[in-house]
Amino acid sequence: MFKQLRPAIVSLVLLGLLTGEAYPLVVTAISQVAFHDQANGSLVRDQNGNVRGSALIAQKFDGAQWFHSRPSAGDFATISSSASNLAPGNPALAERIAKDAATQQVGNQPVPLALVTTSGSGLDPQLPPEAALYQVPRIALERGVPAASLMKLVEDHTERPLIGPAVVNVLALNMALASLPR
């Protein structure tokens, strides 16, 4: 009987060491060398080296002086990253969208959908450039900054990937906004 158990136990131990220890260590080492920033969370740091967030996760910005991200069903908590799962005909969804639209309203222009609808994960860090530009009049008024300089700031922070629509990372945009002279 031990003759039959011995190869099974040796195989179990060797495969456990190979797949549970060696492989994760090799993959971690390769990722730290080849993709250091991504492997460590794509952290965004300010000029002093302090971590301000991640380029991959949205943050909540309160106040009229900041560019606002898309709404989050989980209030920007990574633990509860998900959509709200409210059906399109659900009155609670219509009520939340109406409330968000009222807080984002600038003049009588329609509010861009990206400012009132959540993403699938609830943590999408980007906005379409149009949604960022929509917020420029409010921020210009609040900060006393010319709208043209804010529009240039949005343009400078617009990423145009090879595939897909142009996007603006709201954290990077707000960090640049914070560094503007008042």
Q: How many domains does the chain have?
A: 2
Domain match, 104 and 166 both: yes
Domain match, 55 and 79 both: yes
Q: Check if the beta carbon of residue 84 is closer than 8 Å to that of residue 118.
A: yes
Q: How high does pLDDT run on average in the chain? A: 86
Written as six digits, the tokens of 75 are: 């209030």
CA 101 to CA 106: how far, in whole Å?
Answer: 9
Domain match, 30 and 65 both: no
Domain match, 21 and 84 both: no
Domain match, 86 and 131 both: yes
The whole-number average pLDDT for the span 62-71 is 88
Tens-digit pLDDT profile for residues 130-155? 999 999 999 999 999 999 999 999 99
Domain match, 93 and 174 both: yes
The pTM of the whole model exceeds 0.75? no
Q: How many CB atoms lie within 10 A of CB 52?
A: 15
Alpha helices, H only, 18-61 = 23-34, 36-39
Written as six digits, the tokens of 164 are: 């897909």
Domain match, 79 and 129 both: yes
pLDDT bracket for residue 14 (50, 70, 90): very high
Best-predicted range by mean pLDDT (70-74, 109-113, 134-138): 134-138
**Residue 8's domain spans which residues?**
2-37
pLDDT bracket for residue 82 (50, 70, 90): low
Domain match, 49 and 135 both: yes
Domain match, 33 and 101 both: no
Domain match, 59 and 115 both: yes
Domain match, 24 and 98 both: no
Domain match, 10 and 65 both: no
Q: Check if the beta carbon of residue 170 is closer than 8 Å to that of residue 68.
A: yes
Intra-chain end-to-end CA distance of the chain, in Å: 82
